[in-house]
Structure 1
C-alpha cells in the first residue's frame, strides 16, 4: 500500500488532531486542503495550516488587480470540459461557499462558468496564415454533476465520444455543403455509413477495444480507407472539405491507435517512451495530418517545446498526448468552460474563503528555504522558512482580499497597511514572489516534525525542488531522476486593452452559440494562443468616458535565452521583463493583419504597415497617452521565470520518472502537484487538482482512488 496509508494516519486514533502542514498555495495545495476538509468531523482529527510565500494564493493561476482594478493574470486560464476532477471540485466549492443568488455576484457554479465551443486554428497556406474556425458540438452532460461525470470515467467512453464528435461534424458539414453537390455523391454516402457503423459498434456493450481481427478494427479500417480515398477524389479545391477530412483522418488514427495498442486494458503509460508525432504516424496519420493544427493543438496548448524553444520540434509522450486528446473530445457539455471573472475571483478566492470558513489556517509571507532530513534519512525532520514580513496586529491573521464590484479579489501587491514592513516594501517596490527580489527576510522560522507537523504536503512546483530539497535529492536517486526528466519551460503573456470593439477591429466570423468567444490556437509563435476576454471588462473599474471596448490575452512558451542565474543576480527579472516587452512589440508589429485585419496601421491611418498593429488602438491614460509603440508601455505583460512559475512538460520518458503522492520515500512527506504521477501527467489545472486529490488520499484515505477520474486503477499501490 502507499507509504502513508489511511490506516497509518487514522483520523480518530490519535490523542490530538494530527498537524498537517501544506507547503505552497497553488491549485494543488488548495485542493488538498479542500478534500481533507470535505470529510465530516475532519476538524476533530486534523489541524491544517497552509504556508505561502508572498501575499496571495493561486500559484500559476494567481491573479492581481492593477490600475483601474484591471485583471492581471499569469497567463490564459479556463477549464476544458474534460476537467473531470476540477469541475466537480469547483461545483462543490460554490455549494460550500453559500453565496446568495441575486444578492451576491457569481453566487453559483452556473453563474461563474460559461460554456465555450469555438476555437480558431490557423494554417499556413500559399505563403500566408489562413483562419480555420472550428466549433465542437455540444452535449447534454452537465459539468460537475455526479450523474453526468460518472458517464465520463472510462476509456471506452472517451473513445466512443471521440467517434461521436467525428460523426456530428460529418453530419453538420453534410448539411452545410449540400448545395455543392460534393456531399451527395455515392462515395460520401458510403463514408457516412462507415463512420456511423463505427459509432454503433463502439456503443455496443459487447465490443472489445482491442484486437486487429475484431469487427471494430475492420470497421475502423474501412472508414480509414474511405477517408484516404475521399481526400483524393472529393476535396479538389474545397478548403472546408479538405479540413474536414484532416480532422477525420486525425481522429480515426487516434481510434485505430487506441485499439491496436490496447489502451483500454494496458493504459496510456506504455506509450510514453514514444513521441506523439511518431505514434500518430505509426498508426497511419500522414505527415500533413500529424503537423496539422488539429494535431498540434494539444502540444501548443501545453507548451511542449524543449526549453520553451518553438523553433524546435515539440516533444510529448504519446500516452500523455493521447490521454489528454481523447479526453478533450469527451467533454461535459461543451469543449471548454470559461471563467466569468478573473481566475483569482472565480477559482482561487472561493476556495480560500471556503477553507477559511472551515478552519484551515493560512500563513502568508512564508518562503520555504529548505527541507532537512532526520539522521536516518527516513523522514523530513524540519522545514526552514524565510519570513518575508510580519503583521502589525499579532492577534489577527493577514487579510489578503479586497472587494471589487462585490467580488472578493486579490490585490496586485501586499496590503501594506497590515505589515510592519509595509512602507519599506511599498517604497522599494519589492516583489515578494520573486526568488531574485533581493529582499532580506525579517525573521527565520523552523517547523519541526512531531512538534509543528505530523504530515507534510509538498505542493510547491517541481521547478523549485532543486533549490529547496537538496538533501532529499541526495538521499533518493528517484528524486534526481524525476527532476532531470520531468522538465519545465518558462512562459510569457501579454494583455491588451483596446479602444475599439473586437468587431470594429475586424472580427467577422459568426458564432454558432451565444456564449462563444474567440479562442485562438496554433497562430504565430511565440505567443501562439489568444483569447478575447472582453467579457471581463465589467469586473474592472475604468472611467466611463475612456473605458476600453475590448480585452485580448496572448500567451506562449518563452525560449530559455539565458540559464536562470543565481538568486543574487537581482537584475534578472528586469532583463526578462524587458525581453518579453520587446518580443511582444515585435509580435504586434508583425502579426495583427491576419488576426484582426481592421487593426493595422494601413487601415487605421493609411498608408502604412498592412500587418502591424496601429498602436493608437491601445487604451492608454488620456492625460499621458504616448505615441506609437510607446503606448504598449501601459499594457500588461509578464515573464514567468521563477522556479515555481515554470510550466511542467511531458516529454517522452518522463512519465515513469514521476513520483506518486505517497511515493516520496519519506514517511511523513506527501507530494501534490501536476508534476507528480496523476495518470494524466500533463501540466494543467486538472493535473494539479488530481495531484491535490491524490495527496488527500495519501494523508487521509479520501477521496477513494476510484473517484479520481483518470487515475489508473492499476496504479493504486506503490
Structure 2
C-alpha cells in the first residue's frame, strides 16, 4: 500500500498533537509520510518560546503559560511523549526535565486582585485575595471522562454543602478561605440538592414541575443573599467575598435549571454573553463587577479588539464549561507550572520524538495560499515561500542550555546560506504583518501531499484560504464569526524577590492567616489594572537559565489583551507609566521617589525587561465570543475532502483558547485522518442523539408524529445520513435486479445510463408507532445500495425504488426488516462518525465513505434542489421475498420538515457478494443549487420518518400508481 503524504501547515499545540496522535496508531509509518511546513525557525505557534544567548539564556515567551489541572488530554499526551523520549534514548530520566514530574510542579493557590476604593487619596485600593485549594493524589491525565452539566451542578452543590457543614465558609477573616456567608443558606442548598437527586434520569429531562420547584428554592436563596448585600457587609472583605460567591453560584444554578443545559449541553447557552446571562438569572450588579467575574475574562483575554474598558464578550456556555472544570475537576492541583519555557517543556520533546519517529520538518517554509481543484472539493495546490535556504539541507533547530535542548530566540544564522546578511537585514521570519520574502514554490496534490492538516491559527486563515471562503459558506461564516484579539506581554528579571518588595506583607494584610501559602508565595494573580492585568511569579525558572554567578533574584511575567493597532513603542510607553503608577501598589518596596525603581532590574533595562506585542496572524489569541461556537468547524469538517483542521479555533468540545482545547482538536484531527477512535476526554458533554438541537431536526406535524398509543400501526424513527446518486450503464444496472423488477425511464441521467444510489445513515428512536419512546431500538448504522426508477408489471408506470442491499449493525433492525418488509438486510460491523462511515463484513467486504459538509443545514422546503431530492427519496419501495412475492411500502422521510446540507463524498467499495454493493471507487460532488433535471449531488439529510404497515402493501401500490397518473396528467 502506497503511503499517503500529509502536509502539515504550522507547528502549534493542535498540529503537534495531531501528528503525535497519528504516530501512536498501529503501523502509522506504513500508512503515512508526514512533513511539517513551519514558518520561521521554531515550532510552537502562540506557545513558542526562545532562549536569548545575549542575556543569560533567558526564556522569552509570547506570553504567560500555566497548565490547568483539568488538562486531562494534554497531560496524558505529554506524559506519553516524555516516556517515549526516554525509551528512544533521546533523554535520560536523570537529565533536566527528563520526566514529567521534573517538567511540571503543582500550584494549589491563585490570587484575585480586588479593587476596593479608599477614602485616602494616597491609599492602596488593591487587596490581593488568596484562594488556597486542596491538592489531591490523582495524576493529571488519568481521567477518562468529565462530568455532564447535571453531574457538574451536583458536584458543585455537594462541595458547597460540605464546606458549609464544616464551617469552612463561615470563619470570616480567620477562616481557611477568608470568607463568611449568611446563616440559613446551608438548609436552602441542601434542599436544592435533594430536589436535584429526585429528578428522573439524572436530570434528563427536567420537567416544568420539577424545575419550577427548584427555581423557587433558588430564588428564595438569592433573595436572602441580596438582602445581605448592604454597604456595611460589602465593606468587610470576608463577608463581601462570601456574599458575591453565593450570588454568582446561585445565579449559575438558576440559569442551568431554567434552560436546556442538562439535556442540550453547555453550547446552548452560548447564545448569551456570560455576564448578561448571569444578570438574566438574578446575579446582582455588585457581584458582576467583582473581580472573580473580571478574572474569568482576564484569564481568556476576553475583550474583543483589546478594549478592556467595556464588558468582555464570552459565550456563557463556553465560560461555564471552562471555569467549572478549572475549579471543580482538576487533578493534583488547580495549576501546574512548567519548569522551563513552553518551547523547552512542550515543543522540544514533541519535536525530538516526532523527528526520531520519521516525521520530517521543513523550517523557514511559509504557507501563503490554499488552492482548490476545479470541483472545489479538494486542496489541489499550496502556494509556499521558502524564506531561507539551509546549508546542509536540514535545519537543526535546538541549542543546549545546561543539558536541556531548547529553541533559540533567533535563528541559528550559521546554518543558513548568507546567514550573516540575513541577520544584518533585520528580517523577522515569524512576522505575518507583511508577506514573507524568499523563493516562491508550489506543493502539488498527488506529488507533495495527499492530505493537508491545517494547524495555523485562525488569525492566519483570511490570507491563506481565500478560495475556501469563496467555495464554502461555512468557512466564510467561521472566519467572520470566530474572533481573535491581540495580546501583549512583559517579563522582568529583578534583583529583589517579591517578598523583599513588600508583596507578602500586602497579602497577609488582607487574607486569613490559615489560607496563606508558605513563603516564597508562587503567585499567579489576575484582575489587576491594565495594561497588564495578570502577573505570575516565575522565579522558579532562574536555575534553568544561565546567568552565571550573578543571577537575578526573581522573574515576573505579565500579560493582557492589547488594543488593536498597538505597536511595541506604544506598549513600552504604556507599561512604563503603569510600572510607576500601578505596579508599585503590588510591590511597595519597588517604589523610589514616587516611581518604579528601575535600578532593581537585573543588570540593566535591556537585560531586565523583555516585551512584545502579538498583533498579527497566528500570534493573536482566539476568543469565544457570543454565538461564535455555532460557526466553529470541527477538525473533520473543513468542507474539503483532503483538508483536516487542528487548533483551539475549531469546534473541539472545549471551544476556547487554551492548551487543552488545542490538544482536543489535535486528537480529533488524528481520529479523522486515521479513522480510529482515539481517547479524547470531554470532547462531548452529551451524546449527539440526546441533544435537543439534534432532536429538533426530526420533528413533524404528520400523523406519524402523534404520540403513542393514539397512532395507527406503522414503523417510525429518526435518521440522519448522507445520500448520493451516480449513473451506471443501464445494462449493468438491469443485471442487478431480481426477476419481476425492471428498469424504467430516468429523467436524471444521460441516454444509456441509469441512476443508482447509496446512503450511509444513523437511525435512532426506531420503534413501532404503538411502542413508547423508551422501548425504541438502540441507535444503529445502515449502508444502503438502491436503484430508483424501477417498475413492476402490477404497478405499471409508477416509479419505484428497489433496495438491493442494506448492511446493518443491529440484529433487531435486520430481523424486523426481513420479516415485515422483505428487506435484503445483512449484518455488518459498522463504524459511524460525522465525517466517516466504515462497514466491514464477510469475505472481505469493506465500504469506506468520507464526507465533508459545505454549508449549514437549510430547510428542504423551498430549497432549489427540493424537486430533485423529493423525486428520488419519495419513491415507493418495492422488495421481493424468497418466494418471489413483491411488497410495496412507503418510506416517508417527511421531507416537508427535513433539513439538508451539501457534502462532498469519497467512496471506496469492495464487495465480493454478487447480491451486494457494486465494487467501485469515486468522488461525489456536493449538492448543486439547481432546479434542472439531473442528479443533485451528495447531500446530508436530517429528518424523521415513517414506514407503512407491511399489511398495507396493496394500498401503497395503488397510491403510487395514482400519484404517477396525476403527475403524467400535469405534464400534458
Q: Shorter-chain-normalised TM-score: which range?
A: 0.7 to 0.9
In the other structure, the counterpart of 1:6 is: none
In the other structure, the counterpart of 1:482 is: 478
1:44-93: CA deviations, max 9, x gaps?
Answer: 11111111010001000000111210000000001112223222222222
The match for 1:556 among 554, 560, 564 is 560
The match for 1:62 among 48, 65, 68 is 48
The match for 2:551 among 547, 555, 561 is 547
Structure 2: stretches of 5+ with no match in the other structure: 119-123, 509-515, 689-693, 695-832, 835-852, 854-972
In the other structure, the counterpart of 2:665 is: 691
1:600 aligns with 2:600: no
1:532 aligns with 2:529: no
In the other structure, the counterpart of 1:456 is: 452
Which secondary structure state, in structure 2, belongs to the residue aligned with residue 316 of structure 1? coil
**Mapped partners of 1:200, 1:135: distance in 2:** 29
Deviation at 1:634, TM superposition (A): 4.7
1:603-643: CA deviations, max 9, x gaps?
Answer: xxxxx21xx311111112xxxx4xxxxx3675100011121
In the other structure, the counterpart of 2:747 is: none
Deviation at 1:230, TM superposition (A): 4.5
In the other structure, the counterpart of 2:371 is: 372
Which secondary structure state, in structure 2, belongs to the residue aligned with residue 644 of structure 1? helix
Deviation at 1:513, TM superposition (A): 6.2
**Mapped partners of 1:184, 1:291: distance in 2:** 18
Structure 1 stretch displaced more, 533-542 or 261-270: 261-270
For the Cα contact (< 8 Å) 1:430–1:439, is it kept in 2? no
Structure 1 stretch displaced more, 99-108 or 247-256: 99-108
For the Cα contact (< 8 Å) 1:136–1:165, is it kept in 2? no
**Mapped partners of 1:530, 1:233: distance in 2:** 30
For the Cα contact (< 8 Å) 1:680–1:711, is it kept in 2? no
How many residue pairs match? The answer is 665
In the other structure, the counterpart of 1:131 is: 127
For the Cα contact (< 8 Å) 2:322–2:654, is it kept in 1? yes
Structure 1 stretch displaced more, 704-713 or 449-458: 704-713
Q: 1:211 to 1:287 in 2, by over 3 A?
A: farther
**Mapped partners of 2:174, 2:43: distance in 1:** 55
**Mapped partners of 1:671, 1:438: distance in 2:** 23
For the Cα contact (< 8 Å) 1:165–1:329, is it kept in 2? no
1:420 aligns with 2:420: no
**Mapped partners of 1:335, 1:205: distance in 2:** 31
In the other structure, the counterpart of 1:78 is: 66
The match for 2:643 among 669, 680, 686 is 669
In the other structure, the counterpart of 1:11 is: none
The match for 1:618 among 583, 586, 601 is 601
In the other structure, the counterpart of 1:566 is: none
1:309-339: CA deviations, max 9, x gaps?
Answer: 1122211111222221221222223221111
**Mapped partners of 1:411, 1:165: distance in 2:** 46
1:20 aligns with 2:6: yes
In the other structure, the counterpart of 2:730 is: none
For the Cα contact (< 8 Å) 2:265–2:685, is it kept in 1? no
- Superposed counterparts of 1:132-531, under 5 Å: 132-140=128-136, 142-146=138-142, 149-150=143-144, 152-167=146-161, 170=164, 171=166, 173-174=168-169, 176-177=171-172, 188=182, 190-196=184-190, 198=192, 207-208=202-203, 210-211=206-207, 213-214=209-210, 220-221=218-219, 223-232=221-230, 235=233, 237-330=235-328, 331-394=330-393, 397-436=394-433, 440-441=437-438, 443-508=439-504, 509=507, 511-512=516-517, 517-531=522-536
User: Which has more strand, going by share of residues?
Assistant: 2
In the other structure, the counterpart of 1:5 is: none
For the Cα contact (< 8 Å) 1:28–1:688, is it kept in 2? yes
Deviation at 1:390, TM superposition (A): 1.5
In the other structure, the counterpart of 2:798 is: none
1:658 aligns with 2:653: no
Deviation at 1:153, TM superposition (A): 4.5
Structure 1 stretch displaced more, 430-439 or 118-127: 430-439
For the Cα contact (< 8 Å) 1:250–1:294, is it kept in 2? no
Which secondary structure state, in structure 1, belongs to the residue aligned with residue 60 of structure 2? strand
Which secondary structure state, in structure 2, belongs to the residue aligned with residue 403 of structure 1? strand
1:243-288: CA deviations, max 9, x gaps?
Answer: 1221122122212222221312111222212111110011111111
Which secondary structure state, in structure 2, belongs to the residue aligned with residue 362 of structure 1? strand
Structure 1 stretch displaced more, 25-34 or 189-198: 189-198
Deviation at 1:212, TM superposition (A): 5.9
In the other structure, the counterpart of 1:109 is: 100
For the Cα contact (< 8 Å) 2:527–2:533, is it kept in 1? yes
User: Which has more helix, going by share of residues?
Assistant: 1
Which secondary structure state, in structure 2, belongs to the residue aligned with residue 150 of structure 1? coil
Q: 1:188 to 1:707 in 2, by over 3 A?
A: closer
For the Cα contact (< 8 Å) 2:172–2:238, is it kept in 1? no
For the Cα contact (< 8 Å) 2:203–2:262, is it kept in 1? no
1:680 aligns with 2:654: yes
For the Cα contact (< 8 Å) 1:25–1:57, is it kept in 2? yes
Greater relative contact order (CA < 8 Å, ≥ 6 in sequence):
1
Q: 1:584 to 1:316 in 2, by over 3 A?
A: same
Q: 1:500 to 1:492 in 2, by over 3 A?
A: same
Deviation at 1:426, TM superposition (A): 2.0
Q: 1:709 to 1:437 in 2, by over 3 A?
A: closer
For the Cα contact (< 8 Å) 1:122–1:521, is it kept in 2? yes
**Mapped partners of 2:149, 2:135: distance in 1:** 18
**Mapped partners of 1:504, 1:487: distance in 2:** 41
For the Cα contact (< 8 Å) 1:381–1:448, is it kept in 2? yes
TM-score (norm: length of structure 2): 0.65
Which secondary structure state, in structure 2, belongs to the residue aligned with residue 425 of structure 1? helix
Which secondary structure state, in structure 1, belongs to the residue aligned with residue 203 of structure 2? coil
**Mapped partners of 1:117, 1:313: distance in 2:** 29
1:32 aligns with 2:18: yes
In the other structure, the counterpart of 2:963 is: none
Q: 1:352 to 1:297 in 2, by over 3 A?
A: same
In the other structure, the counterpart of 1:53 is: 39
Q: 1:261 to 1:407 in 2, by over 3 A?
A: same
**Mapped partners of 1:304, 1:255: distance in 2:** 23
For the Cα contact (< 8 Å) 1:120–1:131, is it kept in 2? no
Q: 1:307 to 1:537 in 2, by over 3 A?
A: same
Q: Which has the larger radius of gyration?
A: 2
Which secondary structure state, in structure 1, belongs to the residue aligned with residue 125 of structure 2? strand
Deviation at 1:175, TM superposition (A): 6.5
For the Cα contact (< 8 Å) 2:653–2:683, is it kept in 1? no
In the other structure, the counterpart of 1:570 is: none
For the Cα contact (< 8 Å) 1:88–1:143, is it kept in 2? no
